[in-house]
Structures are given as C-alpha cells and as structure tokens.
Amino acid sequence: MPEEFSVSLRAGSADFAASVKPAAPAAIRARGNRRRRRQALTAAALAFAIAVGGAGTAYASLGRSGLAAAPVTGRGPSAPPSGPGGEGRPGIVAVTDRGALVVLDPLTGIARKILVRGDVLPGTVSVSPDGRTVYFAAGHGCTGMIESVPTAGGRVSVIAPGVRPAVSPDGTRLAFARTPCRPSATVASPEVVVRDLAGGGETVLPAASRPSSAGMVAELSWSPDGRRLLVSASRPNGYWVLAQVDLAAARYYLPSAGSGGSAVPVTGPDAAHSYYRGGVFLPGGDLFVDRVCCSDDGAAGVTSNLLWEIDPSGRFVHRVAIGWLDRDHTSLDGDPSGHWLLYLSGPDLFLSLGGAAPFKLTTGLGAAAWI
Amino acid sequence: MRDPATFDAFYSGSVRRVTGQVYAMTGSRAEAEDCVAEAYARAWQRWDKVSGYGDPEAWVRTVAYRVSVSAWRKAANMRVAHRRQWAPDDTRGLSPDYVAIIAALRKIPPRQRQAIVLHHLVGLSVEEIARETGAAAGTVKARLSRGRQAMAPYLADSEPALNRKPGPDAKPGPDGKPGLNGTEVACDA
C-alpha cells in the first residue's frame, strides 16, 4: 500500500481542514429549515395541481357511469363505503346536476361513492357533526321531502316534508324550510321548521305575521352554540335578507319589530344598495356570506358579487373571493376545523384553504357540503 | 424531535474534516464548502433520523458528494463552474505534495477519485467503500487500482511511490494488472 501517498494526503487534508472557516451551526440549521419549508410548499403545490388536473374529468366519469340513465324512482343506497378523504382535506358530499347524491374525492373532485342515485333536489345538503349522516331533500309531490342517508352508504330514511335541511351542531335537531301545499292560485310563504330528530316534535316559525311576506328560504345555518339560526330568505319584492333568529324568543324568521330576529347589517361600500344573497355560520362564530351589490334591475344590475367573511355584526373580516356577476353563489360552507371553505359558483365547486384565493375543484353540482 | 444541541455538536466536530474530504473529491474549495453546507442543512432537515444512524458523518459526506455531482446542479451552476475552472483555489499554507495530489486527483475520473479519497484519506476498507458508494467490492478495487495508475504520471516528481514502474517480480493488482508500486495486491489492507 502506498503509505507515503496516504500520509501526504492526510497531512495535507488536515492542514486544509484547519484553514476551513465553516458557517455557524445556526446558519446551517436555518438553511435546513428553509429547505423544509420549500419542500412543504412544493408538496402543497403538487397536490393542488393534481386536484385541478383531476377536476376536468370529474363529471365526465359520472356521465359515463350510467347515472343519467338511472330511473327517477330508483333511489337507494349504492356502493359500499370507501376510505377516508385525502391528506387532511375533509371529504365532500354533493348533489350532482343529475340529482345524485355523491361523496367526492376531496383532492380530485371525482365522485368516489354514490349514496343516492337520483331525484335529490339541488340547493342544500347538510352533514351531521359526527360526519356519519347526510341530510338532503328529495323531490316529492308539491314540496320536497327531507331524507337522510349514512355517508358510508346504506338505507335512506325519510324524515319530514321540507327542503333546505340544516342539522344542528349537536346533531339533535334539524332545521328546514317547508312550504305548505296550497292551490296554485293561493300564495304560500315558506315556514322554517326546527324538528327534534329523536322525538319528532317541531317548532314552526312563519315568515311574518302576514302570509305573503317571504318569497323563498334559500339557506339555513346554525350558530356554533345552537341557539340561533341564520336564515337567508327572499321577500316578494325580490330583495334578499340574511336574518339571525334567536330560537328561544323568535316568533317569525323575517326581521321585524317583535319577531325575535334581526337582519345582519350590511356594511362596506354601497351598503344601502347591497344585500346578502346567502350566508352561513363558520365554526368560530363569524359568517361566510355572499354580498351582492345593486341589483335593482335583476342580474343585469349586479355590479359586485363578493364572498366575504364578516362578524355577526356585519363588520368585514376577510375577502375570500370575487364572484361572477351573472351567477348565483350557493352552498357556502366551512368545515368543522375552520380551515376550509367551499361554495358553488353556478355549477362549479370552489375550495379555499384558510380564506386564501379559491380554486375550482370540479363542476356539474347543485349543492355541496363538507363531511 | 430535532435537537439543535446535538446537531451543533456534530456539525462543529466534523465539518472541517468532511470539507477536507469533499475538497479532495471535488478539487474545488468553494464547491466543497458549498456542498458540505448543503449536506449539513439536509442533515438538520431530517436530524431526527440522521442522528440515529451509526455514522452520520458518512451520511453527510455521501450527500455532499452526490450534491457535487448532481447533473442538475452542474447545469444550474455551469457559468460559475466555468469561472472556477479558470480561478484556481488559494493554496497558500498547503504543502506542495498535497497540492500536487489534489491536482492529480482532479485529472482522474470522479468515481476513481472518490474511491481513492475514501480509502487513502478517510481510511475506509474496500467493503466500507462499497457500502458507502453502493458499488460492488470488485468495482471498488478496480477503481482504486485504475485511479492510482491514472494518477501516477501526474505525481512523478512529488510521489515516487505511486510512480514506480512495475518490477520484474510485480504481482498482479486487484484488476489483474500489475500493481503500481510493484508490491500492492490488495486495497483493503
């Protein structure tokens, strides 16, 4: 072995090492921490790209599955449950524009499971706080029928006539809207019903003392403490109102003197001509709302359509997105952790993490909610 | 859980030595310092695992070498590397023999250079080099033998032991060819 060579190399390397002036350990650790953050961001961007890439195929696959050909009367449980949602993003349940109730893969937007094959009404779905039961409205006679089905798949249970179901934070009560069946010439205002899921007892809140004071109820949402309901309703004159209803004191759900409810104040620019087209409570107590401005002339008169987070007094907290002027923005929802928001812009499902700029996950939907 | 104290102690105790070894593999002080810093940063990034390895220093040395030969890195730093080619390192304070060895190492293929440094500088056996580089032991022996052969002409003035012609009693080297110094038959002695 060439010992002289090794000796020369080692001696020289020792001299060289002595001349090295390394960076401070803290600087090296900081460099490692930056690498760690960069890799986390890269992973998040990759997941986002995969989600966006998969969205385009979401309902093409549903269309090919023969779902459209399913008979309207053939509703019932479908495939057995699959695994949990992907990588920390909560699962999503949705109503397709063909009336199916499905569980979506939260990363790709592709339907992973069909819970009900058809005849589900668009507008609202609601998931119990334990994530095990989905409440939805099915087409039934002159009004809808509130039904439920396990998110893992199973038999459909019929609950009561009505639409727009919203289950309470403790899972014991269900709020929904019900419009009594009347002869076509008779105007009927929808009622808001709060039903005890165990005993079946109901509390009914009319719109107001006069029967023609409301056009429709678009959305219902429970406050995190379960004491108030947020009611998004239209008046016969076409204007919308977002009312907070104290369930212990309310007599009517539309705000008026002595009704027990109050309108969420509209703040910000053009407040006098703006209104909330819809809104829901978030887990922290703030509201996620669709704020529309200046629609004296119907959709053509809409000059802004903003998705905002506000506090219950109407104070602006955060702008989530700028909506399309010619679309309705519905199915607003925040996940139980408070990290994710979703909404439908027309048929398109958008998600937002932490209120950041939303991205389109998929399309072809009539309602959606976090599991 | 990553413990900064143990990392700092490991870093402070080994960084100069590892930089010297990587310098011998790359032939560039600047590149060696940069690659070693990057390797230690990666070690801290996953220190909860690396600290449990039997020889974290070998892990850092391997990562630093891989960083130095990364094709991506070479492409990204092509212009810098070009400038370095024409800007020799400061060799003040280093022995002429050592400078000549580094210069000779730069002239042989990288894998042979790595094997020679790991064997003659780090002191690893053929089997240990095989484990660290992922090559077969026979391949390591061949690289060592051919590397020495390739270096010999460049060390004629400063390293007679490597420049000696095979004598009449020369035994074959690890690859079946005559040993460079006429006596060597094994590299893992």
ipTM: 0.74
Chain B contact for A318 (CB, 8 A cutoff):
no
Chain B contact for A25 (CB, 8 A cutoff):
yes
Residue of A6, A8, A21 for testing the chain B interface, max B β-carbons within 10 Å:
A8
Q: How far apart are CA A363 and CA A102, in angstroms?
A: 13
- Looking at chain A, the whole-number percentage of residues with pLDDT higher than 90 is 40
Q: How far is CA B173 from CA B107, B146, B166, B182, B186, in A?
A: 21, 10, 11, 9, 7
Residue in B95, B121, B159 nearest the CB of A15: B95
Closest CA to B174 of B142, B133, B151: B142
DSSP bridge pairs for A196: A173
Token pair recorded at residue A95: 């109503």
- CB contact under 8 Å between B20 and A9, yes or no, is no
Closest CA to A55 of A255, A349, A323: A349
Query: Dihedral, CA atoms, B133, B135, B141, B145, nearest 10 degrees?
Result: -70
In this prediction, residue A167 has a pLDDT band, given cuts at 50, 70 and 90, of very high
Has residue A338 got a pLDDT over 60? yes
In this prediction, residue A24 has a pLDDT band, given cuts at 50, 70 and 90, of very high
Sign of CA dihedral A182, A184, A186, A188: positive
pTM above 0.90, yes or no: no
Sign of CA dihedral A70, A75, A79, A82: positive
Distance of CA A123 to the CA centre of its chain: 11
Token pair recorded at residue A285: 């107590």
Sheet holding A163-167: strands in order across?
A: A163-167, A173-178, A191-196, A202-205
Q: How far apart are CA A213 and CA A279, in angstroms?
A: 20
Q: Which residues, at least 6 apart from B112, have a Cβ–Cβ distance to it below 8 Å?
A: B143, B144, B146, B147, B150
Query: If you average pLDDT over residues A145-155, what whole number do you get?
Result: 93
Q: Given this model, what pLDDT does residue A238 score?
A: 66
DSSP secondary structure string for all residues of A228-279: EEEEEEE-TTS-EEEEEEETTT-S-SS--TTSSEEEPPP-STTGGGEEEEEE
Q: Given this model, what pLDDT does residue B155 score?
A: 82
Alpha helices in A56-169 (DSSP H): 58-64
Q: How far apart are CA A194 and CA A187, in angstroms?
A: 22
Q: How far apart are CA A296 and CA A221, in angstroms?
A: 27
Has residue A84 got a pLDDT over 60? no
pLDDT tens figures, A274-329: 888 899 999 989 999 999 887 555 555 677 889 999 998 999 988 898 888 888 89
- CB contact under 8 Å between B16 and A3, yes or no, is no
Closest CA to B64 of B120, B118, B143, B105: B118
| φ, ψ dihedrals at B86, nearest 5° | -100, 5
More confident residue, B88 or A167: A167
Lowest mean pLDDT among A155-169, A247-261, B10-24: A247-261
Chain B contact for A24 (CB, 8 A cutoff):
no
- CB contact under 8 Å between A20 and B33, yes or no, is yes
Has residue B160 got a pLDDT over 60? no
Closest CA to B158 of B106, B104, B109: B104
Q: How many residues does chain B have?
A: 189
Residue in B7, B94, B121 nearest the CB of A29: B7
Has residue B36 got a pLDDT over 90? yes
Q: Given this model, what pLDDT does residue B95 score?
A: 86
- A15: nearest CA partner in chain B: B94
Sign of CA dihedral A113, A115, A120, A126: negative
Q: Where are the domains of chain B?
A: 1-90, 94-189
Tell me the fold of B94-189. Arc Repressor Mutant, subunit A (1.10.10)
Residue in A2, A25, A33 nearest the CB of B162: A2
Q: How far is CA A278 from CA A190, A212, A230, A290, A343, in A?
A: 17, 21, 9, 5, 11
Which residues of A are less than 8 Å from B117 in CB distance?
Answer: 9
- CB contact under 8 Å between B189 and A4, yes or no, is no
Query: If you average pLDDT over residues A26-44, what whole number do you get?
Result: 87
Token pair recorded at residue B1: 């859980």
Q: How far apart are CA A144 and CA A8, in angstroms?
A: 91
Has residue A85 got a pLDDT over 70? no
Q: How far apart are CA A290 and CA A127, in angstroms?
A: 21
Has residue B41 got a pLDDT over 90? yes
Q: Given this model, what pLDDT does residue B74 score?
A: 62
